[in-house]
């Protein structure tokens, strides 16, 4: 074989290998995206976790305790309406803790009654579930704390406890919290383009949303700058798994970081430092 012939054969081999690798990569990517875009069902649980089924609200008895659970659910699903003395943001718990707090990868409430009290990094101490709820009240809801002994707090705790009932004690529910993505350097300008194309239709050009269907992402009715959602990494993790709401699982991790950085740079109400112990 002449030298040129040999080089040609090598080139063809390299090209063929390259194409095969690209194809395999695309296939893997495609498959993994399909898995993610099944967004609305529970993902397959890894070993060590137990299958878990959401109870039905219809199964709650019509007694006094049942009424507390139902009130908790109402507050969770429509916070600005049912906890109007305390929530200032036009965002409900379930807008972030989606599907009434059972959606994995959207910081579900399932099993939390067996996990709390637990160490809290922000507070630097062990906190109760009630205190964790207060954190979201004063940050994510941009509001004021609930009366710790009041009916609303008891109702929210009863609701979360009820959601947690079928969860075996001390077993982890998959997708707890906002499961972090790999750390990437975000490009907020690209994020702005993404926002206009993929988010503004529901959350509005000014970020104010169309409440109560589509919650705000910034502006006076949004969560405040002390909220978890105001951290780029947390929002990226939320958006990657859950948004756009009609097509979850279609953004890449980089795109999720980019759009989160853009939203982060928009104005948010200021966190009231009087509540910084929460």
Contact 102, 183 (CB under 8 A): no
Tell me if 202 contacts ligand HEC by CB under 6 A: yes
Binders of ligand HEC: how many residues, by CB under 6 A? 44
Among residues 152, 141, 144, the alpha carbon closest in space to that of 227 is found at: 141
Q: By CB under 6 A, is residue 268 in contact with ligand HEC?
A: no
Q: Is 176 in the site for ligand HEC (CB under 6 A)?
A: yes
Span from 3-11, 54-62, 226-234, 265-273 in contact with ligand HEC (CB under 6 A): 226-234
Tell me: does residue 228 bind ligand HEC (CB under 6 A): yes
- Rounded CA gap, 239 and 264, in Å? 13
Report the residue from 71, 113, 134, 140 that binds ligand HEC according to the rule CB under 6 A: 140
Residue 179, class by beta-carbon neighbours within 10 Å (0-12 exposed, 13-18 middle, 19+ buried)?
middle
Residues 24-53 vs ligand HEC: string with x where CB under 6 A?
A: ------------------------------
Using the rule CB under 6 A, which residue among 155, 227, 232, 233 binds ligand HEC? 227
Residue 157 makes contact with ligand HEC by CB under 6 A: no
Closer of 10 and 125 to ligand HEC (Cβ): 125
Cα–Cα distance, 69 to 136 (Å, whole number):
19
Give the rounded distance of the alpha carbon of 153 from its chain centre: 22
Q: Of the ranges 63-71, 92-100, 164-172, 270-278, which one interacts with ligand HEC (CB under 6 A)?
A: 92-100
List the structure tokens of 133. 């709820």
Q: Which residues bind ligand HEC (CB under 6 A)?
A: 79, 91, 93-98, 107, 112, 129, 132-133, 136-137, 140-141, 156, 176-178, 198-199, 201-203, 214-217, 223, 227-229, 234-235, 238-239, 243-246, 259, 263
């Amino acid at each position: 074989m002449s030298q040129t012939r040999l080089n040609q054969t090598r080139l063809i081999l390299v090209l063929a290998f390259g194409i095969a690798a690209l194809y395999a990569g695309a296939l893997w990517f495609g498959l993994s995206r399909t898995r993610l875009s099944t967004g609305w069902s529970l993902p397959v649980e890894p070993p060590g976790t137990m299958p878990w089924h959401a109870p039905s609200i219809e199964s709650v008895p019509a007694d006094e305790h049942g009424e507390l659970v139902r009130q908790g659910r109402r507050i969770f699903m429509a916070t600005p309406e049912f906890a109007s003395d305390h929530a200032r943001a036009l965002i409900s718990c379930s807008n972030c803790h989606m599907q009434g707090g059972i959606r994995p990868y959207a910081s579900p409430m399932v099993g939390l009654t067996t996990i709390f009290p637990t160490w809290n990094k922000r507070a630097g101490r062990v906190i109760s579930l009630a205190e964790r709820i207060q954190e979201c009240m004063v940050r994510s809801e941009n509001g004021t704390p609930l009366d710790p002994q009041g009916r609303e707090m008891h109702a929210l705790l009863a609701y979360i406890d009820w959601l947690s009932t079928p969860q075996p004690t001390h077993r982890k529910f998959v997708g707890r919290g906002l499961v972090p993505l790999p750390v990437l350097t975000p490009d907020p300008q690209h994020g702005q383009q993404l926002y206009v194309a993929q988010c503004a239709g529901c959350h509005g050009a000014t970020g104010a949303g169309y409440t109560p269907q589509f919650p705000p992402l910034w502006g006076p009715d949004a969560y405040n700058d002390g909220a978890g959602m105001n951290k780029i990494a947390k929002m990226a993790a939320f958006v990657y798994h859950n948004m756009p709401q009609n097509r979850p699982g279609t953004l890449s991790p980089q795109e999720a970081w980019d759009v989160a950085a853009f939203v982060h740079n928009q104005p948010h109400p200021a966190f009231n430092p009087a509540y910084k112990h929460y």
